[in-house]
């Protein structure tokens, strides 16, 4: 039987995540995120870099003073001032940890730090020892470890462990490495650092080549037991390894990855939402695990498969990560949807449709998808109601075509082509002082019945700029009031449909034994 290894989750949303260009969290916002990270069950919260500003010092302090279950840490350069500031900020947390770093790669040593190898070792050792006078737990990071000579990496790691570091983090700072290379670095360190069993190894991967999650997993497959990652994968440049992707990959592919974490997966969606909202970094729709399309299926063949057995196309249940069935929008109805999914949606409204009504509704739905990217539940309900209240079995007015033009003198011309209940095509043109006024005047003048408008309302159905327009009218015919409703992409078409709907309801009532559809008569 394979042993299961416990992996510690070190969340750096509030430190590396906040290094995302344009993100600037105040201390209350950072605290809200920290509280959510604690609910999510992360083992370590990296709350910030206290020496970087007074604001970040105060934020780290507030988090350290408040958070009790997760361990709170903060970043510091190998400088006494940075370490002292971190201590002042962290001293009230039950299990404080300092995270100090120094770059080890040739390019950083030569051009950025202007230090040789020995200076990098000596500075790191001295500052780990100093940190140890203040903190029980010292994490040391070899910045740009993945571009560092392996023998030098092994040498410096042995020295800092000897000085008191108990967590050794090996970042792929610039997101350059491949999973094979990153895994090989951990294997090399595990095999070539004599005192490595006195420390735990940690991954910290950036996503410049889109391999941060794969690299982090390669790290734990080769000896690391801590993963540094961030919610929604935010962080410097292309970001860090996404916490939610690692957590769910380890869970869903437990057969391939024998690891556990302390994370409460059901808090993933909420964590993602809080971070997206407070940082202003919205999540791309197709983002794995938490993107709005992650559980949505649009094409008819996929939807049919989903209805027959969800596992045909779904490897993760949205409920696993706290995505509600409603927001999962599992069967997204759009241009590529088929009859099975449409029928399923109709059923969810508890409306009975005959086979003919269903076919007519499906036809109208497909026609709508040619104009509208996202067809909402409201749109579909409107289509169903149109069908349910349709007067197609009686003679009625059919609006064939219309247009409305603005004239130079401020007048509006409306032209309509209608087929009458007797089946005759007729056209009429009028001018009026506004679009709806002119259109309704043309309709009133073309009807054999004498009608007048009592009430007119216009609203939008569904969201987005391509939402449907819905118009409701009440008209008076022969002393009786009839209501009408019309939906269309265009507000004038919806208005015309509503008027004809009311007139046709009158015609229906004339044919019925009881005028069931007249209102307030
Ligand atoms: C890979 C990472 O993510 S590392 C973390 C990066 N995060 C941040 O930098 C965010 C917070 N940073 C800041 O607010 C500022 O950079 C500060 C306050 C830390 C420092 O600001 P300044 O003193 O103005 O220095 P500046 O940022 O311009 O340059 C960095 C200096 O630190 C030095 N340095 C860089 N890393 C380290 C280190 N690990 N230990 C010691 N010194 C370091 C640089 O060599 C440079 O030194 P120099 O001034 O002698 O050339
Ligand atoms: C400071 C270290 C951990 C870092 O953020 C990096 O190397 O990317």
pLDDT of residue 445: 97
Would 230 be classed as within a structural domain? Answer: yes
pLDDT of residue 378: 67
- Residue 52's domain is classified under what CATH number? 3.20.20.70
185-189, 345-349, 369-373 — most confident range: 185-189
Q: Residue 511: which pLDDT band, with cuts at 50, 70 and 90?
A: low
CA of residue 77 to ligand 1 center, whole Å: 7
Shortest-distance atom of ligand 1 to CA 79: 41
Mean per-residue pLDDT of the chain: 91
Q: Are residues 381 and 471 in the same domain?
A: no
371: which 2 tokens?
Answer: 């104009």
Shortest-distance atom of ligand 2 to CA 240: 8
Q: Tell me which of 319, 354, 388 is where a domain ends.
A: 388
Among the bound ligands, the one closest to the CA of 140: 2
Q: What is the mean pLDDT of residues 268-280?
A: 93
d(CA 78, CA 81): 9
CA of residue 52 to ligand 1 center, whole Å: 9
| Residue carrying structure tokens 């970042």 | 171
| CB-ligand 1 contact for 177 (6 Å cutoff) | no
Q: How would you classify the pairing of strands 44-46 and 8-11?
A: parallel
Shortest-distance atom of ligand 2 to CA 228: 3
Among the bound ligands, the one closest to the CA of 12: 2
- Residue 410's domain is classified under what CATH number? 3.30.160.270
Q: Are residues 157 and 189 in the same domain?
A: yes
Atom 9 of ligand 1: nearest residue by CA position? 52
Q: What is the mean pLDDT of residues 47-71?
A: 97
96: which 2 tokens?
Answer: 């404080």
Say whether 515 sits in a helix, a strand or coil.
coil
Q: How far is CA 303 from the centre of its chain?
A: 21
- Out of 15, 113, 121, 126, give the residue to mutate to test ligand 1, the one with the largest number of ligand atoms within 8 Å of its CB: 113
Q: What is the pLDDT of residues 213-260, one digit of tens each?
A: 999 999 999 999 999 999 999 999 999 999 999 999 999 999 999 999
| CB-ligand 2 contact for 204 (6 Å cutoff) | yes
Shortest-distance atom of ligand 1 to CA 78: 40
79: which 2 tokens?
Answer: 């400088």
CB contact at 8 A, 305 and 313: yes
Say whether 33 sits in a helix, a strand or coil.
helix
Q: Are residues 316 and 347 in the same domain?
A: yes
Does 79 score more than 50 pLDDT? yes
Among the bound ligands, the one closest to the CA of 119: 1
Q: What is the pLDDT of residues 90-112, one digit of tens each?
A: 999 998 999 999 999 999 999 99
Q: Which range, of 186-190, 462-466, 489-493, 509-513, averages the lowest pLDDT?
A: 509-513
Q: How far is CA 199 from the centre of its chain?
A: 37
Q: Residue 39: which pLDDT band, with cuts at 50, 70 and 90?
A: very high
Does 405 score more than 50 pLDDT? yes
Q: Tell me which of 279, 314, 342 is where a domain ends.
A: 279
Q: Are residues 248 and 217 in the same domain?
A: yes
Q: What is the pLDDT of residues 313-338, one digit of tens each?
A: 999 999 999 998 766 767 888 888 99
pLDDT of residue 462: 63
Would 285 be classed as within a structural domain? Answer: no
pLDDT of residue 393: 57
Q: Are residues 210 and 334 in the same domain?
A: no
Q: Tell me which of 331, 365, 388 is where a domain ends.
A: 388
- Out of 142, 204, 226, 238, give the residue to mutate to test ligand 2, the one with the largest number of ligand atoms within 8 Å of its CB: 204
d(CA 60, CA 26): 11
Q: Are residues 320 and 458 in the same domain?
A: no
Please tell me which residue, 304 or 267, carries the higher pLDDT value. 267
Q: What is the mean pLDDT of residues 62-72?
A: 97
To the question of whether residue 297 is assigned a binding role by annotation, the answer is no
Does 153 score more than 90 pLDDT? yes
CB contact at 8 A, 92 and 65: yes
Domain of residue 309 covers 300-388
Question: Where on the phi/psi map is residue 175: left (φ > 0), alpha (ψ -120 to 50), or beta?
Answer: left
pLDDT of residue 518: 31
Q: What is the mean pLDDT of residues 425-440?
A: 94
CB contact at 8 A, 428 and 416: yes
Shortest-distance atom of ligand 2 to CA 15: 5
CA of residue 171 to ligand 2 center, whole Å: 6
To the question of whether residue 240 is assigned a binding role by annotation, the answer is yes
Q: What is the mean pLDDT of residues 123-140?
A: 98
Q: Please tell me the total count of domains within the chain.
A: 3
Q: What is the mean pLDDT of residues 417-425?
A: 90
161-170, 339-348, 450-459, 498-507 — most confident range: 161-170
Would 308 be classed as within a structural domain? Answer: yes
Q: How would you classify the pairing of strands 5-6 and 200-205?
A: unpaired
d(CA 140, CA 344): 56
d(CA 98, CA 119): 21
Q: Which of 20, 17, 46 has its CA nearest to residue 34?
A: 46
d(CA 46, CA 72): 6
Does 513 score more than 60 pLDDT? no
| CB-ligand 1 contact for 52 (6 Å cutoff) | yes
To the question of whether residue 204 is assigned a binding role by annotation, the answer is yes
Could you tell me what percent of the chain has a pLDDT over 70? Answer: 94
Would 295 be classed as within a structural domain? Answer: no
| CB-ligand 2 contact for 93 (6 Å cutoff) | no
| Residue carrying structure tokens 């794969």 | 214
Q: Are residues 323 and 238 in the same domain?
A: no
Q: Are residues 381 and 426 in the same domain?
A: no
| CB-ligand 1 contact for 73 (6 Å cutoff) | no
CB contact at 8 A, 202 and 169: yes
Q: Residue 519: which pLDDT band, with cuts at 50, 70 and 90?
A: very low
Atom 22 of ligand 1: nearest residue by CA position? 52
Among the bound ligands, the one closest to the CA of 239: 2
Rg of the Cα trace of the chain? 33
Would 292 be classed as within a structural domain? Answer: no
| CB-ligand 2 contact for 46 (6 Å cutoff) | no
CB contact at 8 A, 241 and 17: no
Q: Residue 298: which pLDDT band, with cuts at 50, 70 and 90?
A: confident
CA of residue 377 to ligand 1 center, whole Å: 53
CA of residue 109 to ligand 1 center, whole Å: 14
| CB-ligand 2 contact for 171 (6 Å cutoff) | yes
ipTM of the prediction greater than 0.85, yes or no: yes
| CB-ligand 1 contact for 77 (6 Å cutoff) | yes
CA of residue 394 to ligand 2 center, whole Å: 74
CA of residue 113 to ligand 1 center, whole Å: 10
Would 425 be classed as within a structural domain? Answer: yes
Please tell me which residue, 463 or 347, carries the higher pLDDT value. 347
Q: Are residues 273 and 360 in the same domain?
A: no
pLDDT of residue 352: 83
Beta bridge partners of 242: 230
Does 463 score more than 70 pLDDT? no
Please tell me which residue, 179 or 307, carries the higher pLDDT value. 179
Please tell me which residue, 460 or 191, carries the higher pLDDT value. 191
Q: Are residues 418 and 374 in the same domain?
A: no
Atom 16 of ligand 1: nearest residue by CA position? 52
| HEC profile of 370-411 | CCCCCCCHHHHHHHHHHHHCCCCCCCCCEEEEEEEEECCCCC
| CB-ligand 2 contact for 16 (6 Å cutoff) | yes
CB contact at 8 A, 472 and 482: no
| HEC profile of 49-81 | CHHHCHHHHHHHHHHHHHCCCCEEEEEEECCHH
User: Which helix (H) or strand (E) covers residue 213, if one does?
Assistant: helix 212-221
| CB-ligand 1 contact for 79 (6 Å cutoff) | yes
Would 92 be classed as within a structural domain? Answer: yes
Q: What is the mean pLDDT of residues 173-195?
A: 98
CA of residue 151 to ligand 1 center, whole Å: 26
Would 284 be classed as within a structural domain? Answer: no
Atom 15 of ligand 1: nearest residue by CA position? 52
Q: Are residues 47 and 134 in the same domain?
A: yes
pLDDT of residue 425: 92
CB contact at 8 A, 254 and 221: no
d(CA 187, CA 224): 9
122: which 2 tokens?
Answer: 């000596």
Q: Are residues 192 and 326 in the same domain?
A: no
CA of residue 313 to ligand 2 center, whole Å: 38
């Amino acid at each position: 039987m394979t042993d299961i290894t416990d992996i510690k989750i070190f969340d750096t949303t509030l430190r590396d995540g906040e290094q995302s260009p344009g993100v600037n969290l105040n201390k209350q916002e950072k605290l809200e995120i920290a509280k959510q990270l604690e609910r999510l069950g992360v083992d370590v919260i990296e709350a910030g870099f206290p020496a970087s500003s007074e604001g970040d010092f105060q934020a780290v302090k507030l988090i350290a003073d408040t958070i009790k279950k997760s361990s709170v840490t903060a970043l510091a350069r190998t400088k006494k001032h940075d370490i002292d500031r971190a201590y002042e900020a962290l001293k009230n947390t039950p299990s404080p940890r300092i995270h100090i770093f120094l770059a080890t790669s040739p390019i950083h040593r030569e051009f950025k730090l202007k230090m040789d190898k020995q200076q990098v070792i000596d500075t790191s050792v001295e500052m780990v020892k100093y940190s140890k006078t203040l903190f029980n737990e010292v994490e040391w990071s070899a910045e740009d470890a993945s571009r560092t000579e392996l023998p030098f990496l092994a040498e410096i790691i042995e020295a800092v462990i000897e000085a008191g570091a108990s967590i050794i983090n090996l970042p792929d700072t610039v997101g350059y490495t491949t999973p094979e290379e990153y895994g090989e670095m951990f294997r090399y360190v595990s095999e070539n650092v004599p005192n490595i069993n006195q420390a735990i190894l940690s991954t910290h991967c950036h996503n410049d080549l889109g391999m941060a999650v794969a690299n982090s997993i390669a790290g734990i497959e080769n000896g690391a037991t801590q993963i540094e990652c961030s919610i929604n994968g935010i962080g410097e440049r292309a970001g860090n390894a996404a916490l939610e992707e690692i957590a769910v990959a380890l869970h869903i592919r437990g057969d391939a990855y024998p690891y556990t974490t302390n994370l409460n997966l059901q808090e993933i969606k909420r964590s993602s939402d809080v971070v997206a909202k407070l940082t202003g970094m919205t999540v791309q729709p197709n983002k794995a695990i938490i993107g709005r399309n992650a559980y949505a299926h649009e094409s008819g063949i996929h939807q049919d498969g989903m209805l027959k057995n969800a596992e045909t196309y779904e490897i993760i249940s949205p409920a696993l990560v706290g995505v509600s069935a409603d927001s999962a929008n599992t069967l997204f109805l759009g241009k590529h949807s088929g009859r099975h999914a449409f029928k399923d949606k109709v059923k969810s409204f508890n409306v009975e449709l005959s086979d003919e009504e269903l076919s007519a509704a499906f036809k109208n739905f497909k026609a709508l998808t040619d104009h509208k990217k996202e067809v909402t539940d409201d749109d579909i309900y409107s289509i169903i109601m149109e069908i349910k209240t349709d007067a197609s079995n009686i003679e009625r007015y059919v609006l064939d075509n219309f247009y409305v033009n603005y004239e130079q003198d401020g007048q509006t011309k409306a032209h309509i082509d209608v087929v009458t209940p007797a089946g005759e095509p007729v056209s009429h043109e009028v001018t009026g002082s506004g679009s709806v006024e002119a259109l309704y005047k043309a309709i009133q003048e073309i009807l054999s019945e004498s009608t007048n408008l009592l009430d007119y309302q216009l609203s939008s159905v569904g969201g987005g700029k391509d939402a449907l327009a819905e118009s409701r009218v009440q008209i008076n015919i022969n002393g009786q009031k009839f209501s009408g409703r019309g939906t269309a992409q265009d507000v004038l078409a919806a208005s015309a449909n509503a008027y004809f709907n009311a007139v046709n309801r009158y015609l229906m009532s004339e044919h019925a034994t009881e005028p069931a559809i007249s209102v307030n008569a």
